[in-house]
Structure 1
């Protein structure tokens, strides 16, 4: 059930929509109205016009003067130009807030703004509460970085002890901090890898993957936020970042510092759609400076928190380091052995990974096949004297899974000829896509030319020995089990990526002669069915062209008759 404050502010927002207020200004305009109403109730006991409380335009002029640098929010407002009818309707809603507390107004404002159109990624009210509870500050000062942290600010137990730090201030963020008695700091203070001071608790919700975010650091915005938070907090810190922070090369040094210093306490993965206005999935890193040496790190594959109960369950898992259907734990040494990769699926195994782990008589893929990582081949500037290759790509894979005639031609000079020769394709090879369309498998048959090579999107899998055959391995890699495993294992915030090491470690069950023959027979039957489908399609196309086809001829219509 919504609060009375929420209902009143939602009514005001509806009037602003009807008046055609620009959606990009809605949050700020609603905020200045809340501030005006709050001050009017304190000083005048209501919003009725009088000699002491003139009309809206004059009231905003007074507030502009009295608030100094922050008064520009009122001078920039479009509200004094509203119709008298709309102003009276707004007053009616705002007068209902006479008994509202500052915290009640702030929470209602944040909740209503969540439903408005706003640029940039938006932290929901529930996620803001989760961030605040994960940080769980005591009596010490809490520092919150970036505009998105406003939703965490209203969830703090002692917001008056908080400092909201932003690069640029908006009416919305200023009004919320003013209502709560928080300090508002504006500037580029958090643009440095080395904070000028420390705070007991830090909450950071940076924009994702913004480059050239700092004048002194080459790190992207959320990479810098993680490093800055870890170094600035004395007790605990919480950062909401993009998935790349878990595995990217650029963030390797940050992860090493978090893990080697024993600061990382939890990694919480959130699905796409948890943050508004961005298609990117997100992750929460919890930093704890009071960790014991042998305390495990908890990895959680979470759903977007929708209720207080959802939040409480996540908090219990983090605090108690519980293993559950959605979580797993690992130790500092485990993370170091994994080359500081924090991808959640490496520690919380998915359904397919668990099933692979239970396979009997299985060996890793690199035990039964040679695995070649294809590299990028640059087209030679001078084609004269260059060797011509046809480069196979994902789009060349046919419906039955065969590798068709590659469309792309690459001219390779002598300097790069050895690299090209190392990724030549031969009949019986398998190709597995590890970039972009990860998991796509192709079978190279006898149609393969002697100048076919694999593109950098693939690894070449070449069975060795007699333990497994190409058809057997193809069917296994294309199976539902392995395809789901690949989906669980792939990383990448924008483009899916599968590490070559993850391919090498795929467990392959060694078949007996009877089962191997059965799989190979199935493979043959499937290809035969696809051949039949192709024949049926050709027949259908022939039937469709029997009547009223568009003839290609130069004869005049009368001559045809």
Structure 2
């Protein structure tokens, strides 16, 4: 198809080729003309006609690959199709294949639906529904190309105006869509949220969870969501997850690393499976798809789903292996605030090693042993008479000693009062909880003064240990340990920007060695810091010596 791109815009390739395929497959009467415009301009193009002949002569599996290639270009159009990657689409299709009937909702379910055309055990009834006319046209043509008899319906899947029950529902809701009106989803979903003059603003993933709970009680369900939907506690999201867990229908949660699921978006995702009401699960199987058994790199840092181990076999296995899968009780999930992040429950790796280390000490939770300061935004005023220095994660050096703040702004008297309440003090430990999780710094010097205030950015929390119980240097050394950082990062949530929940932060267990041991730890820390300062002095001396030599002595930018 690369030969077509010189004459036809890449965003039009799929529509033109698919429209010609519709003509060849005698499905034109089912179309509404949505794809006719560009096709009319190029319907006599010899290269296009030859390409269509080539595609339709391919075996089904190769034909599906050609369709996938085309629709990734379709994804460049405004209102782009979020197309599932080949490996993920095939694995998701495997979760719904051996059912009598399946309802596929929203455009991103289309690739998995088309995968049902390959091999045996095809569902006897397939319905596809989406609210976009162009998408529905594409679904009609591509399903015909794959030899599938699909009922394509133009409509909003969440409104449930299409009638009928299905053995299985595959739902891949659009990302980032917000619902603010009751008429945007079915009456039963509206009843769950509660009818009011000001209904809650909810995202499509929460609506999808509620929709499947209240409208598919006799169906198996497969739901694809972003990683953030597993742990966010905003509005009604946690309530929806709590009811999902409490229903006993939740069978499994597959955690997919960034870039594994969508071809044109690198975000963490999850695939959730529900069984029909009446099949009660008192435990949920969590699966880490980032493990090498399930994923591989395709180059340029891209992650692909392997297809040699079917995901459905992992669900059906009698026992979890404890390394990449774990069975967690409903009671434990409730205890963890209905958090469905897989990393929360896998006990191997960093988590188990940290737990074993902590067994050798008395421990306290972070909020028991420290005052936790959460930095607030300071109002900026370019004409303000006071200067505020803000420490960013990038200001923290390798060995942690915070000595500078790269962000400088001005504020007024009101801003100064706010800044003073969070001014950094000697002994403060900084821990980043947003964005890059686990940057750890320690303040060893007086930084700032009455008119030049130094604070931490909102990416951090500031920890002030109770000095008579825990030395700052001990807290720094523990939190900056790579194994501990990896363990804490496993608690983070968020599809695009990773964040730690304050409840989880407060509950982090901190070892409290005897004070004699703490003093020894501090002495070792101080010795390392002295060596670091010597290294810095040597670096300055080396740079100075070099600049005194040719040609730097005559070609200096500092003049």
Q: TM-score range by the shorter chain?
A: 0.7 to 0.9
List per-residue Cα deviations over 1:193-220 (Å, max 9, x = no partner).
9987654321112232234697737322
Q: Which residue, 543, 551, 554 being the options, matches 1:548?
A: 554
- Structure 1 partner of 2:233: 249
Q: 1:551 and 1:352, CA in 2 relative to 1: closer, same or farther beyond 3 A?
A: closer
Partners of 1:374 and 1:455 within 8 A in 2 = no
Paired residues of 1:387 and 1:412 also in contact (CA < 8 A) = yes
Q: Which residue of 1 aligns with 2:429?
A: 430
Give, in angstroms, the shift of residue 320 of structure 1. Answer: 4.0
State the SS of the aligned residue for 1:446.
coil
Higher share of residues assigned helix: 1
Q: Which residue of 2 aligns with 1:151?
A: 111
Question: Which residue is 1:182 aligned to?
Answer: 150
**Alignment partners' CA distance in 2, 1:109 and 1:213:** 39
Q: Where in structure 2 are the equivalents of 1:385-464 lying within 5 Å?
A: 390-406=389-405, 407-409=407-409, 411=411, 417=417, 422-449=421-448, 451-464=453-466
Q: Does 1:142 pair with 2:102?
A: yes
Partner of 2:361: 361
Paired residue secondary structure (1:203): strand
1:372-408 per-position Cα deviation (integer Å, ceiling 9, x unaligned)? 1314144287998x98765444344345422224444
Aligned pair 1:284/2:265, yes or no?
no
Change (3 A) 1:204 1:543: same
Query: Whole-Å Cα distance in 2 between the matches of residues 552 and 343 of structure 1?
Result: 52
Structure 1 residue runs of 5 or longer lacking an equivalent are 1-12, 40-62, 554-561
* TM-score of the pair, normalised by structure 2: 0.79
1:331: how far off? 1.8
CA deviation string 1:306-359 (max 9, x = no partner) = 444222xx2122234632221112122222222222122111235111112212
Equivalent position SS for 2:462: strand
State how far apart, in whole Å, the 1-side matches of 2:350 and 2:51 are: 56
Structure 2 residue aligned with 1:70, among 23, 32, 53? 32
Distance across 2 between alignment mates of 1:110 and 1:91: 11
User: In structure 1, which of residues 222, 225, 230 is the aligned counterpart of residue 208 of structure 2?
Assistant: 225
- The question of 1:351 aligning with 2:338 is answered no
Q: How many angstroms does 1:183 deviate by? A: 0.5
Relative to 1, partners in 2 of residues 1:96 and 1:259: Cα closer, same or farther, differing over 3 Å? closer
- Residue 4 of structure 2 corresponds to 16
* Higher alpha-carbon Rg: 1
> Residue 254 of structure 1: CA displacement?
2.0
2:189 aligned partner: none
Structure 2 distance, partners of 1:69, 1:432, is 57
Aligned length: 504
For residue 163 of structure 1, report the CA deviation from its aligned partner. Answer: 0.9
> Deviations for 1:507-536, whole angstroms, at most 9, x for unmatched residues?
333435665444323312321222122212
Change (3 A) 1:431 1:91: closer
Tell me the secondary structure at the aligned position of residue 348 of structure 1: coil
Counterpart in the other structure of 1:93: 54
Distance 1:257 1:321, change over 3 A: farther
Deviations 1:155-202 (A, max 9, x none): 444455111001223443221234411100012x22449987654321
Aligned partners of 1:335 and 1:341 also within 8 Å: yes
Q: Quick one: distance in 2 between partners of 1:528 and 1:422?
A: 31
Shift, 1:145, TM fit: 0.8
Distance 2:20 2:517 in 1: 74
469, 474, 477: which one aligns with 1:475: 477
| Aligned counterpart, 1:340 | 338
Tell me how far apart the structure 2 counterparts of residues 479 and 440 of structure 1 sit (CA, whole Å).
Answer: 11
- Given candidates 26, 35, 39, the residue that maps to 2:13 is 26
Q: 1:484 aligns with which of 480, 486, 497?
A: 486
1:205 paired residue number: 172
**Deviation string for 1:89-116 (max 9, x for gaps)?**
447636846xx7xx66864554554775
Matched, 1:118 2:75: yes
Where in structure 2 are there 5+ consecutive unaligned residues?
186-200, 296-303
Residue 295 of structure 1 aligns with which residue?
282
Looking at structure 2, the residues matched to 463 and 338 of structure 1 have their Cα atoms a distance apart, in angstroms, of 26
Could you tell me whether the CA contact under 8 Å between 2:72 and 2:83 is conserved in 1? no
**1:58 matched to which residue of 2?**
none
C-alpha distance in structure 1 between counterparts of 2:482 and 2:382, whole Å: 45
- Asked if the contact 1:114/1:124 (under 8 Å) is kept, the reply is no
Q: Is the 8 A contact 1:160 1:183 kept in 2?
A: no
CA distance in 1, matches of 2:249, 2:410: 49
What TM-score results when the alignment is normalised by the length of structure 1? Answer: 0.78
Partner of 1:235: 219
Cα 1:540–1:33 shift into 2, 3 Å: same
- Alpha-carbon distance between aligned partners in 2 of 1:136 and 1:216, rounded to the nearest angstrom: 30
Instruction: Give the 3 Å change call, closer, same or farther, for CA 483–105 of structure 1 in structure 2.
Output: closer
Which of 313, 316, 320 is matched with 1:316 structurally? Answer: 313
